[in-house]
Amino acid sequence: MSGRKLIRLNGFKQSTVSHAAVGAWRHPDNQSHRYRELDYWIETARTLEEGLFDGLFVADVLGVLDTHGGSIAGTLKQGVQTPSTDPLLAVSAMAAATKHLGFAITVSTTYEQPYALARKLTTLDHLTGGRIGWNIVTSALESAARNLGHETQVPHDERYAIADEFLEVVYKLWEGSWEDDAVVLDRAAGIFADPAKVHPIRHKGRYFSVPDAFLSEPSPQRTPVLFQAGVSGVGRDFAARHAEGIFIAVHRPDLARGIVEDVRQRAERFGRDPASLKFFAMATVVTGADDAEARAMHDAYRGLISTEGHLARLSSILQLDLSKLDPDQPLEYVETQGIRSVLETYTRLDPSRRWTPRAIGEFLGIAGGGVEIVGGPVSAADQLERWFDEAGIDGFNITDPMPLRTFPDFNRHVLPELRRRGRVRERYDGATYRERFRGAGQPRLPDDHPGSRHRELGRLNDAQDLTSA
Protein backbone atom coordinates (compact mmCIF):
# COMPACT_ATOMS: atom_id res chain seq x y z
CA MET A 1 0.00 0.00 0.00
CA SER A 2 1.10 3.56 -0.72
CA GLY A 3 0.09 4.92 2.68
CA ARG A 4 -2.23 7.43 1.02
CA LYS A 5 -5.86 7.69 2.02
CA LEU A 6 -7.98 4.89 0.58
CA ILE A 7 -10.88 5.69 -1.71
CA ARG A 8 -14.12 4.19 -0.36
CA LEU A 9 -16.76 3.08 -2.83
CA ASN A 10 -20.51 2.52 -2.74
CA GLY A 11 -22.68 1.53 -5.65
CA PHE A 12 -25.53 4.02 -6.13
CA LYS A 13 -28.89 3.00 -7.58
CA GLN A 14 -32.61 3.50 -7.35
CA SER A 15 -35.26 0.85 -7.82
CA THR A 16 -36.63 2.45 -10.97
CA VAL A 17 -35.94 2.81 -14.70
CA SER A 18 -34.31 6.26 -14.94
CA HIS A 19 -32.15 7.37 -12.06
CA ALA A 20 -29.22 9.78 -12.67
CA ALA A 21 -28.88 9.16 -16.42
CA VAL A 22 -32.43 10.01 -17.49
CA GLY A 23 -33.11 8.47 -20.89
CA ALA A 24 -30.24 5.95 -20.90
CA TRP A 25 -32.84 3.16 -20.71
CA ARG A 26 -33.29 3.62 -24.47
CA HIS A 27 -29.90 2.04 -25.20
CA PRO A 28 -30.53 -1.44 -26.70
CA ASP A 29 -28.24 -3.07 -24.12
CA ASN A 30 -29.65 -1.23 -21.11
CA GLN A 31 -31.13 -3.53 -18.43
CA SER A 32 -32.73 -0.93 -16.16
CA HIS A 33 -36.24 -2.20 -16.95
CA ARG A 34 -35.28 -5.31 -14.93
CA TYR A 35 -35.29 -3.30 -11.68
CA ARG A 36 -38.37 -5.34 -10.68
CA GLU A 37 -36.51 -8.68 -10.92
CA LEU A 38 -34.73 -10.21 -7.94
CA ASP A 39 -31.88 -11.62 -10.04
CA TYR A 40 -31.07 -8.07 -11.21
CA TRP A 41 -30.42 -6.99 -7.61
CA ILE A 42 -28.59 -10.16 -6.63
CA GLU A 43 -26.23 -9.88 -9.61
CA THR A 44 -25.63 -6.22 -8.81
CA ALA A 45 -24.79 -7.00 -5.18
CA ARG A 46 -22.42 -9.81 -6.11
CA THR A 47 -20.62 -7.56 -8.60
CA LEU A 48 -20.12 -4.84 -5.99
CA GLU A 49 -18.79 -7.34 -3.48
CA GLU A 50 -16.37 -8.70 -6.06
CA GLY A 51 -15.07 -5.13 -6.35
CA LEU A 52 -14.77 -4.85 -2.53
CA PHE A 53 -17.22 -1.93 -2.44
CA ASP A 54 -18.32 -0.80 1.02
CA GLY A 55 -21.96 -1.03 0.12
CA LEU A 56 -24.91 -0.42 -2.13
CA PHE A 57 -26.59 2.94 -1.54
CA VAL A 58 -30.21 2.98 -2.77
CA ALA A 59 -32.20 6.18 -3.29
CA ASP A 60 -35.98 6.25 -3.00
CA VAL A 61 -39.01 8.54 -3.23
CA LEU A 62 -42.55 8.17 -1.88
CA GLY A 63 -44.54 10.06 -4.48
CA VAL A 64 -44.91 10.53 -8.21
CA LEU A 65 -42.98 13.35 -9.88
CA ASP A 66 -45.76 15.62 -11.04
CA THR A 67 -44.47 19.17 -10.53
CA HIS A 68 -43.24 19.82 -14.09
CA GLY A 69 -46.23 21.14 -16.00
CA GLY A 70 -48.48 19.86 -13.22
CA SER A 71 -48.44 16.35 -14.68
CA ILE A 72 -46.67 13.00 -14.39
CA ALA A 73 -46.57 12.69 -18.20
CA GLY A 74 -42.93 13.75 -18.59
CA THR A 75 -41.66 11.48 -15.86
CA LEU A 76 -43.73 8.49 -17.01
CA LYS A 77 -42.40 8.80 -20.55
CA GLN A 78 -38.83 8.48 -19.31
CA GLY A 79 -39.50 6.22 -16.32
CA VAL A 80 -38.10 8.87 -13.99
CA GLN A 81 -38.60 7.44 -10.48
CA THR A 82 -42.04 6.21 -11.58
CA PRO A 83 -42.58 3.31 -11.66
CA SER A 84 -40.51 2.23 -8.67
CA THR A 85 -40.44 -0.47 -5.99
CA ASP A 86 -39.57 -0.48 -2.29
CA PRO A 87 -35.81 -1.05 -1.97
CA LEU A 88 -36.01 -2.50 1.56
CA LEU A 89 -37.66 -5.67 0.28
CA ALA A 90 -34.71 -6.78 -1.85
CA VAL A 91 -32.10 -6.46 0.89
CA SER A 92 -32.52 -9.93 2.42
CA ALA A 93 -32.03 -11.64 -0.93
CA MET A 94 -28.96 -9.54 -1.76
CA ALA A 95 -27.53 -10.20 1.68
CA ALA A 96 -28.04 -13.95 1.28
CA ALA A 97 -26.00 -13.81 -1.95
CA THR A 98 -23.11 -11.86 -0.36
CA LYS A 99 -21.05 -11.94 2.83
CA HIS A 100 -19.55 -8.48 3.24
CA LEU A 101 -21.46 -5.86 1.23
CA GLY A 102 -23.38 -3.24 3.19
CA PHE A 103 -26.80 -1.87 2.21
CA ALA A 104 -27.70 1.79 2.80
CA ILE A 105 -31.41 2.21 2.14
CA THR A 106 -33.32 5.48 1.94
CA VAL A 107 -36.26 5.82 4.35
CA SER A 108 -38.14 9.00 5.26
CA THR A 109 -38.65 10.25 8.81
CA THR A 110 -41.67 12.30 7.71
CA TYR A 111 -43.89 9.37 6.75
CA GLU A 112 -42.70 6.55 9.02
CA GLN A 113 -43.23 5.86 12.70
CA PRO A 114 -39.98 5.46 14.67
CA TYR A 115 -41.12 2.39 16.63
CA ALA A 116 -42.05 0.49 13.46
CA LEU A 117 -39.04 1.59 11.40
CA ALA A 118 -36.64 0.74 14.23
CA ARG A 119 -37.90 -2.85 14.16
CA LYS A 120 -37.63 -3.10 10.35
CA LEU A 121 -34.03 -1.91 10.32
CA THR A 122 -33.10 -4.03 13.34
CA THR A 123 -34.60 -7.05 11.60
CA LEU A 124 -32.50 -6.42 8.52
CA ASP A 125 -29.41 -5.81 10.62
CA HIS A 126 -29.96 -9.22 12.26
CA LEU A 127 -30.60 -10.99 8.96
CA THR A 128 -27.56 -9.44 7.28
CA GLY A 129 -25.19 -9.94 10.20
CA GLY A 130 -24.80 -6.20 10.76
CA ARG A 131 -24.66 -4.84 7.23
CA ILE A 132 -27.45 -2.26 7.27
CA GLY A 133 -27.23 1.48 6.78
CA TRP A 134 -30.03 4.04 6.74
CA ASN A 135 -30.03 7.07 4.45
CA ILE A 136 -32.15 9.49 6.47
CA VAL A 137 -34.36 11.76 4.37
CA THR A 138 -37.22 14.08 5.24
CA SER A 139 -38.96 13.83 1.80
CA ALA A 140 -39.61 16.78 -0.47
CA LEU A 141 -42.54 15.80 -2.71
CA GLU A 142 -45.99 17.35 -2.40
CA SER A 143 -47.39 14.22 -4.03
CA ALA A 144 -45.97 12.08 -1.21
CA ALA A 145 -47.69 14.25 1.38
CA ARG A 146 -50.94 14.19 -0.55
CA ASN A 147 -51.00 10.41 -0.86
CA LEU A 148 -49.78 9.63 2.64
CA GLY A 149 -52.51 11.32 4.62
CA HIS A 150 -51.46 14.99 4.64
CA GLU A 151 -53.28 17.90 3.05
CA THR A 152 -49.98 19.51 2.17
CA GLN A 153 -46.26 19.10 2.84
CA VAL A 154 -44.80 19.71 6.26
CA PRO A 155 -42.64 22.88 5.92
CA HIS A 156 -38.96 22.30 5.13
CA ASP A 157 -37.41 23.25 8.48
CA GLU A 158 -40.13 21.54 10.50
CA ARG A 159 -39.41 18.30 8.63
CA TYR A 160 -35.91 18.45 10.10
CA ALA A 161 -37.32 19.15 13.57
CA ILE A 162 -39.43 16.00 13.20
CA ALA A 163 -36.36 14.11 12.01
CA ASP A 164 -34.37 15.23 15.06
CA GLU A 165 -37.00 13.88 17.43
CA PHE A 166 -37.42 10.74 15.29
CA LEU A 167 -33.69 10.06 15.73
CA GLU A 168 -33.92 10.65 19.47
CA VAL A 169 -36.66 8.00 19.68
CA VAL A 170 -34.83 5.36 17.64
CA TYR A 171 -31.60 5.97 19.55
CA LYS A 172 -33.46 5.24 22.77
CA LEU A 173 -34.93 2.07 21.25
CA TRP A 174 -31.71 0.82 19.65
CA GLU A 175 -29.16 1.88 22.25
CA GLY A 176 -30.99 2.14 25.57
CA SER A 177 -33.97 -0.17 25.81
CA TRP A 178 -32.11 -3.50 25.93
CA GLU A 179 -28.90 -3.89 27.89
CA ASP A 180 -26.05 -5.79 26.23
CA ASP A 181 -26.56 -8.87 28.40
CA ALA A 182 -30.37 -8.82 28.49
CA VAL A 183 -30.66 -12.01 26.45
CA VAL A 184 -29.47 -14.86 28.71
CA LEU A 185 -30.99 -17.88 26.90
CA ASP A 186 -31.06 -19.89 30.15
CA ARG A 187 -32.89 -23.07 29.24
CA ALA A 188 -32.57 -24.61 32.70
CA ALA A 189 -34.10 -21.60 34.45
CA GLY A 190 -36.61 -20.95 31.68
CA ILE A 191 -35.42 -17.40 31.09
CA PHE A 192 -34.80 -16.18 27.57
CA ALA A 193 -34.40 -12.48 28.39
CA ASP A 194 -33.87 -10.91 31.81
CA PRO A 195 -36.83 -8.55 32.43
CA ALA A 196 -34.66 -6.39 34.70
CA LYS A 197 -32.45 -5.54 31.73
CA VAL A 198 -35.15 -4.53 29.24
CA HIS A 199 -36.43 -1.01 29.80
CA PRO A 200 -39.27 1.20 28.57
CA ILE A 201 -37.98 4.32 26.86
CA ARG A 202 -40.79 6.62 28.10
CA HIS A 203 -40.49 9.08 25.27
CA LYS A 204 -43.02 11.89 25.20
CA GLY A 205 -42.16 14.63 22.75
CA ARG A 206 -43.72 17.18 20.44
CA TYR A 207 -44.17 14.76 17.54
CA PHE A 208 -43.90 11.24 18.98
CA SER A 209 -45.04 9.35 22.04
CA VAL A 210 -43.28 6.01 22.54
CA PRO A 211 -43.57 4.87 26.15
CA ASP A 212 -42.63 1.20 26.05
CA ALA A 213 -39.66 -1.11 25.60
CA PHE A 214 -38.31 -1.95 22.16
CA LEU A 215 -39.85 -4.97 20.49
CA SER A 216 -36.56 -6.37 19.16
CA GLU A 217 -33.40 -7.56 20.85
CA PRO A 218 -30.20 -5.71 19.87
CA SER A 219 -28.72 -6.45 16.44
CA PRO A 220 -24.98 -6.61 15.66
CA GLN A 221 -24.68 -2.86 15.11
CA ARG A 222 -27.69 -1.88 17.26
CA THR A 223 -27.97 1.40 15.31
CA PRO A 224 -27.52 1.03 11.54
CA VAL A 225 -24.86 3.14 9.84
CA LEU A 226 -26.42 6.58 9.44
CA PHE A 227 -26.24 8.42 6.12
CA GLN A 228 -27.65 11.82 5.20
CA ALA A 229 -27.75 13.79 1.97
CA GLY A 230 -29.24 17.20 2.71
CA VAL A 231 -26.71 20.03 2.61
CA SER A 232 -28.96 23.07 3.02
CA GLY A 233 -28.20 25.09 6.16
CA VAL A 234 -30.52 23.10 8.41
CA GLY A 235 -29.53 19.92 6.58
CA ARG A 236 -25.85 20.52 7.29
CA ASP A 237 -26.56 20.92 10.99
CA PHE A 238 -28.60 17.73 10.96
CA ALA A 239 -25.79 15.86 9.20
CA ALA A 240 -23.20 17.26 11.59
CA ARG A 241 -25.22 16.01 14.58
CA HIS A 242 -26.27 12.59 13.32
CA ALA A 243 -24.64 11.35 10.11
CA GLU A 244 -21.70 8.98 9.80
CA GLY A 245 -21.77 9.03 6.00
CA ILE A 246 -22.74 12.15 4.01
CA PHE A 247 -23.70 12.03 0.35
CA ILE A 248 -22.96 15.09 -1.80
CA ALA A 249 -23.70 15.73 -5.48
CA VAL A 250 -21.66 18.53 -7.01
CA HIS A 251 -19.67 18.75 -10.23
CA ARG A 252 -16.45 20.42 -9.02
CA PRO A 253 -14.02 19.32 -6.31
CA ASP A 254 -13.66 22.83 -4.85
CA LEU A 255 -17.43 22.98 -4.30
CA ALA A 256 -17.29 19.60 -2.58
CA ARG A 257 -14.40 20.67 -0.36
CA GLY A 258 -16.36 23.71 0.82
CA ILE A 259 -19.24 21.50 1.93
CA VAL A 260 -16.93 18.96 3.59
CA GLU A 261 -15.03 21.57 5.57
CA ASP A 262 -18.21 23.36 6.66
CA VAL A 263 -19.97 20.21 7.90
CA ARG A 264 -16.85 18.94 9.67
CA GLN A 265 -16.60 22.27 11.52
CA ARG A 266 -20.24 22.00 12.54
CA ALA A 267 -19.68 18.43 13.75
CA GLU A 268 -16.79 19.57 15.92
CA ARG A 269 -19.01 22.25 17.47
CA PHE A 270 -21.47 19.46 18.34
CA GLY A 271 -18.70 17.62 20.16
CA ARG A 272 -18.01 15.00 17.51
CA ASP A 273 -14.70 13.98 15.97
CA PRO A 274 -14.92 15.68 12.55
CA ALA A 275 -12.77 12.97 10.97
CA SER A 276 -15.39 10.35 11.89
CA LEU A 277 -17.76 11.77 9.25
CA LYS A 278 -17.20 10.18 5.84
CA PHE A 279 -18.16 12.10 2.69
CA PHE A 280 -19.15 10.38 -0.55
CA ALA A 281 -19.47 12.29 -3.83
CA MET A 282 -21.86 11.10 -6.51
CA ALA A 283 -19.84 9.97 -9.55
CA THR A 284 -20.55 8.40 -12.92
CA VAL A 285 -17.69 6.45 -14.49
CA VAL A 286 -17.82 5.42 -18.14
CA THR A 287 -14.80 3.27 -18.89
CA GLY A 288 -13.49 0.67 -21.28
CA ALA A 289 -10.29 -1.01 -22.39
CA ASP A 290 -8.88 2.37 -23.49
CA ASP A 291 -9.87 6.02 -23.77
CA ALA A 292 -11.30 5.64 -27.27
CA GLU A 293 -13.67 2.87 -26.22
CA ALA A 294 -14.78 4.85 -23.16
CA ARG A 295 -15.45 7.98 -25.23
CA ALA A 296 -17.44 6.00 -27.79
CA MET A 297 -19.64 4.53 -25.07
CA HIS A 298 -20.10 7.93 -23.47
CA ASP A 299 -21.14 9.46 -26.78
CA ALA A 300 -23.65 6.65 -27.31
CA TYR A 301 -25.18 7.16 -23.87
CA ARG A 302 -25.13 10.92 -24.11
CA GLY A 303 -27.06 10.84 -27.36
CA LEU A 304 -29.98 9.16 -25.59
CA ILE A 305 -30.27 11.48 -22.61
CA SER A 306 -33.59 13.30 -22.17
CA THR A 307 -33.11 16.94 -21.22
CA GLU A 308 -36.85 17.31 -20.70
CA GLY A 309 -36.86 14.26 -18.44
CA HIS A 310 -34.07 15.76 -16.37
CA LEU A 311 -36.00 18.99 -15.96
CA ALA A 312 -39.15 17.10 -15.00
CA ARG A 313 -37.19 15.28 -12.29
CA LEU A 314 -35.50 18.48 -11.15
CA SER A 315 -38.83 20.31 -10.93
CA SER A 316 -40.08 17.78 -8.40
CA ILE A 317 -36.83 17.76 -6.45
CA LEU A 318 -36.98 21.56 -6.18
CA GLN A 319 -40.79 21.68 -5.89
CA LEU A 320 -40.54 24.41 -8.50
CA ASP A 321 -42.20 24.04 -11.90
CA LEU A 322 -39.36 24.81 -14.30
CA SER A 323 -41.73 24.55 -17.28
CA LYS A 324 -43.17 27.92 -16.25
CA LEU A 325 -39.81 29.68 -16.38
CA ASP A 326 -37.98 31.20 -19.33
CA PRO A 327 -35.56 28.39 -20.28
CA ASP A 328 -32.82 30.93 -21.00
CA GLN A 329 -33.31 33.15 -17.95
CA PRO A 330 -30.88 32.49 -15.05
CA LEU A 331 -32.44 30.60 -12.16
CA GLU A 332 -32.82 32.52 -8.91
CA TYR A 333 -32.89 31.12 -5.39
CA VAL A 334 -36.28 31.06 -3.68
CA GLU A 335 -37.41 29.40 -0.44
CA THR A 336 -39.19 26.29 -1.67
CA GLN A 337 -40.42 23.21 0.20
CA GLY A 338 -38.20 21.06 -2.00
CA ILE A 339 -34.56 20.07 -1.60
CA ARG A 340 -33.01 23.48 -1.10
CA SER A 341 -29.42 22.27 -1.32
CA VAL A 342 -29.98 21.29 -4.96
CA LEU A 343 -31.42 24.72 -5.76
CA GLU A 344 -28.46 26.32 -3.98
CA THR A 345 -26.11 24.32 -6.23
CA TYR A 346 -27.47 26.13 -9.28
CA THR A 347 -27.97 29.57 -7.73
CA ARG A 348 -25.60 30.24 -4.81
CA LEU A 349 -22.86 27.61 -4.53
CA ASP A 350 -20.89 28.79 -7.58
CA PRO A 351 -21.06 32.62 -7.89
CA SER A 352 -18.99 32.49 -11.10
CA ARG A 353 -21.78 30.85 -13.09
CA ARG A 354 -25.43 31.70 -13.77
CA TRP A 355 -27.48 28.63 -14.60
CA THR A 356 -30.54 28.71 -16.85
CA PRO A 357 -33.08 25.84 -16.86
CA ARG A 358 -31.98 24.85 -20.37
CA ALA A 359 -28.30 24.81 -19.36
CA ILE A 360 -29.08 22.72 -16.26
CA GLY A 361 -31.08 20.17 -18.25
CA GLU A 362 -28.27 19.77 -20.76
CA PHE A 363 -25.58 19.71 -18.08
CA LEU A 364 -27.20 16.92 -16.03
CA GLY A 365 -26.48 14.49 -18.87
CA ILE A 366 -25.56 10.98 -17.74
CA ALA A 367 -24.06 12.05 -14.39
CA GLY A 368 -27.12 13.78 -12.94
CA GLY A 369 -25.08 16.72 -11.67
CA GLY A 370 -22.31 14.73 -10.01
CA VAL A 371 -18.75 13.91 -11.00
CA GLU A 372 -18.44 12.65 -14.60
CA ILE A 373 -15.42 10.46 -15.38
CA VAL A 374 -14.78 9.18 -18.91
CA GLY A 375 -11.67 7.23 -19.87
CA GLY A 376 -9.73 4.00 -19.98
CA PRO A 377 -8.13 2.48 -16.87
CA VAL A 378 -5.28 4.95 -16.41
CA SER A 379 -7.22 8.07 -17.38
CA ALA A 380 -10.25 7.16 -15.24
CA ALA A 381 -8.04 6.37 -12.25
CA ASP A 382 -6.18 9.67 -12.72
CA GLN A 383 -9.43 11.63 -12.76
CA LEU A 384 -10.87 9.85 -9.72
CA GLU A 385 -7.66 10.33 -7.73
CA ARG A 386 -7.41 14.00 -8.63
CA TRP A 387 -11.04 14.71 -7.75
CA PHE A 388 -10.79 12.71 -4.51
CA ASP A 389 -7.64 14.47 -3.33
CA GLU A 390 -8.76 17.97 -4.28
CA ALA A 391 -12.23 17.59 -2.75
CA GLY A 392 -11.05 16.18 0.58
CA ILE A 393 -13.76 13.53 0.45
CA ASP A 394 -13.65 9.91 1.63
CA GLY A 395 -15.07 8.15 -1.39
CA PHE A 396 -17.63 8.01 -4.18
CA ASN A 397 -21.17 6.78 -4.68
CA ILE A 398 -20.79 5.31 -8.18
CA THR A 399 -23.95 5.53 -10.30
CA ASP A 400 -25.15 2.82 -12.66
CA PRO A 401 -26.31 4.31 -16.00
CA MET A 402 -26.00 0.92 -17.73
CA PRO A 403 -27.14 -1.63 -15.15
CA LEU A 404 -25.28 -4.96 -15.16
CA ARG A 405 -22.57 -3.35 -17.30
CA THR A 406 -21.37 -0.18 -15.54
CA PHE A 407 -20.22 -1.90 -12.34
CA PRO A 408 -18.59 -4.89 -14.11
CA ASP A 409 -16.73 -2.46 -16.41
CA PHE A 410 -15.55 -0.48 -13.38
CA ASN A 411 -14.34 -3.65 -11.66
CA ARG A 412 -12.62 -4.91 -14.81
CA HIS A 413 -10.90 -1.73 -15.96
CA VAL A 414 -10.57 0.86 -13.20
CA LEU A 415 -10.25 -1.06 -9.94
CA PRO A 416 -7.07 -2.97 -10.90
CA GLU A 417 -5.38 0.35 -11.68
CA LEU A 418 -6.56 1.96 -8.45
CA ARG A 419 -5.46 -1.14 -6.54
CA ARG A 420 -2.04 -1.04 -8.21
CA ARG A 421 -1.69 2.54 -6.93
CA GLY A 422 -2.73 1.52 -3.42
CA ARG A 423 -5.88 3.70 -3.47
CA VAL A 424 -8.55 1.07 -2.75
CA ARG A 425 -8.77 -1.80 -0.29
CA GLU A 426 -7.41 -5.25 -1.06
CA ARG A 427 -9.69 -7.13 1.36
CA TYR A 428 -12.64 -6.58 3.66
CA ASP A 429 -11.87 -5.95 7.34
CA GLY A 430 -14.50 -6.67 9.98
CA ALA A 431 -17.95 -8.15 9.60
CA THR A 432 -20.30 -5.14 9.77
CA TYR A 433 -20.97 -2.07 7.67
CA ARG A 434 -19.86 0.25 10.46
CA GLU A 435 -16.51 -1.52 10.64
CA ARG A 436 -15.86 -0.25 7.11
CA PHE A 437 -16.03 3.22 8.68
CA ARG A 438 -14.45 2.68 12.10
CA GLY A 439 -12.23 -0.37 11.68
CA ALA A 440 -12.47 -4.04 12.60
CA GLY A 441 -13.90 -4.72 16.03
CA GLN A 442 -15.89 -1.47 16.19
CA PRO A 443 -19.47 -2.26 15.09
CA ARG A 444 -21.13 0.22 17.47
CA LEU A 445 -21.67 3.97 17.38
CA PRO A 446 -18.64 5.93 18.65
CA ASP A 447 -18.91 7.40 22.13
CA ASP A 448 -19.07 10.99 20.82
CA HIS A 449 -22.14 10.27 18.69
CA PRO A 450 -25.43 11.56 20.16
CA GLY A 451 -27.00 8.11 19.88
CA SER A 452 -24.47 6.68 22.32
CA ARG A 453 -25.73 8.98 25.08
CA HIS A 454 -28.84 6.84 25.42
CA ARG A 455 -26.98 3.67 26.42
CA GLU A 456 -27.66 4.30 30.10
CA LEU A 457 -31.33 5.11 29.49
CA GLY A 458 -32.70 2.04 31.28
CA ARG A 459 -30.61 2.46 34.37
CA LEU A 460 -31.42 6.18 34.54
CA ASN A 461 -35.15 5.46 34.25
CA ASP A 462 -34.90 2.80 36.98
CA ALA A 463 -33.03 5.20 39.23
CA GLN A 464 -35.68 7.85 38.62
CA ASP A 465 -38.40 5.34 39.57
CA LEU A 466 -36.63 4.56 42.85
CA THR A 467 -36.23 8.26 43.63
CA SER A 468 -39.92 8.92 42.85
CA ALA A 469 -40.95 6.03 45.07
What is the per-residue pLDDT across 426-436, written as a single tens digit (0 to 9) for each? 999 999 999 99
Specify the pairing of strand 191-193 against strand 225-228. unpaired
SS (H, E, C) the chain: CCCCCCCEEEEEEECECECCCCCHHHCCCCCHHHHHCHHHHHHHHHHHHHCCCCEEEEECCCCCCCCHHHCCHHHHHHCECCCECCHHHHHHHHHHCCCCCEEEEEEECCCCCHHHHHHHHHHHHHHCCCCEEEEEECCCCHHHHHHCCCCCCCCHHHHHHHHHHHHHHHHHHHHHCECCCCEEEECCCCEEECHHHECCCCEECCCCEECCCCCCCCCCCCCCEEEECCCCHHHHHHHHHHCCEEEECCCCHHHHHHHHHHHHHHHHHCCCCHHHCEEEEEEEEECCCCHHHHHHHHHHHHCCCCHHHHHHHHHHHHCCCHHHCCCCCCCCCCCCCCCHHHHHHCCCCCCCCCCCHHHHHHHHCCCCCCEEEECCHHHHHHHHHHHHHHHCCCEEEECCCCCCCHHHHHHHHHHHHHHHCCCCCCCCCCCCHHHHHHCCCCCCCCCCCHHHHHCCHHHHHHHHHHHHC
Q: Give the chain's domain count.
A: 1
Q: What is the pLDDT of residues 285-344, one digit of tens each?
A: 999 999 999 999 999 999 999 988 888 888 877 888 888 888 888 887 777 766 666 777
The structure's pTM equals: 0.93
Amino acid at residue number 98: T
- Average pLDDT rounded to a whole number, residues 132-146: 91
- pLDDT surpassing 50 at residue 469: no
**Per the domain annotation, does 346 fall within a domain?**
yes
Average pLDDT score over residue span 121-148: 94
**Least confident stretch, 81-85, 137-141, 242-246, 399-403:** 137-141
The sign of the torsion formed by the CA atoms of 323, 327, 329, 330 equals positive
Which range among 73-77, 238-242, 280-284, 401-405 shows the weakest confidence by mean pLDDT? Answer: 73-77
Selection from 325, 402, 386, 398 nearest residue 360 by Cα = 325
Do the beta carbons of residue 153 and residue 453 sit within 8 Å?
no
Q: Sign of dihedral through CA atoms 189, 192, 197, 199? A: negative
pLDDT at 1 over 50: no
Tell whether the model's pLDDT for residue 9 goes beyond 50: yes
Pairing between β-strand 209-210 and β-strand 203-204 as defined by DSSP bridges: antiparallel
pLDDT digits (tens, 9 = 90+) for 371-425: 999 999 999 999 999 999 999 999 999 999 999 999 999 999 999 999 999 999 9
The answer to the question of residue 2 being in a domain is no
Q: What is the CATH number of the domain that holds 167?
A: 3.20.20.30
Q: CA-to-CA distance for 153 and 162, rounded, in angstroms?
A: 13
Residue 329 lies in a domain: yes
Residue 398 belongs to some domain of the structure: yes
β-sheet bridge partners, residue 108: 137
Task: Provide the pLDDT for residue 465.
Answer: 56
Rounded Cα distance between 169 and 214, Å, is 10
Cα gap 391→386, rounded to integer Å: 8
Computed over every residue of the chain, the mean pLDDT equals 92
- Is there a domain that residue 410 lies in? yes
User: Rounded to whole angstroms, how far apart are CA atoms 345 and 20?
Assistant: 16
What average pLDDT score do residues 241-265 get?
95
Please indicate, yes or no, if residue 146 is contained in any of the structural domains: yes
Whether 3 is covered by a domain: the verdict is no
- pLDDT tens track for 176-229: 999 999 999 999 999 999 999 999 999 999 999 999 999 999 999 999 999 998
Q: What integer pLDDT is reported at residue 383 of this predicted model?
A: 98
The answer to whether 395 touches 45, Cβ cutoff 8 Å, is: no
Share of the chain above pLDDT 90, in %: 74
Q: Which domain holds residue 342?
A: 8-468
Spatial contact of 18 and 30, defined as CB atoms under 8 Å apart: no
In a domain, 1, yes or no: no
Q: What is the pLDDT of residue 447?
A: 97
C-alpha 203/C-alpha 186 separation (Å) is: 31
For 395, phi then psi, to 5°, come to 175, -170
